Amino acid sequence: MAWDGYITNLMAGTPPFVQEAAICGSDAGKESVWAATPGGQLAGVTVAEIKAMMSLDRSPLFASGLHLGGNKCTVLRDNLHTEEDNTLDVKMRPTATDPLSYSITIAKTVQTLIIVKGMKDIPGGKINIKASDMKTYLRKNGY
């Protein structure tokens, strides 16, 4: 399946409010980035980062956060393994090269993690809706 069209869909909006997006395979042993915004930080999401998000032991996420593409994130709300929600809301911390923080939502389907990063000053709720809508669509289509 070609996943680039799903990235295009996640990026769509008027005015634009999504800075970048990624769709990652989340099945054990098959963790990888399937598609991502070209040149974005999310294209660099690692196998270890996917495994950390999928882990059933959630305590490390709140104690030390998580990383996405090597960038530190603070967990705000974790319902990734809660049926009917299946989302994880995080805030990407500022770095030496980017002094801003960004809202990010990760939504889980059966086989994927959908990661959506908002633009500067976009509230997390708006990003959560975008990720959740894609999650619902992919689940209805067997992913």
Each residue's pLDDT tens digit, 10-39: 999 888 999 999 999 999 999 999 999 999
pLDDT of residue 1: 56
Interatomic CA distance for residues 18 and 12, integer angstroms: 8
* HSE value, Cβ hemisphere, 13 Å, CA-based, for 70: 6
In the block, which residue shows the tokens 């059933």? 56
Domains, the chain, in order of start with CATH, read 4-140 (3.30.450.30)
Stretches in the chain below the pLDDT threshold 50: none
Quote the pTM value. Answer: 0.95
**Parallel, antiparallel, or unpaired: how do β-strands 32-36 and 66-68 relate?**
unpaired
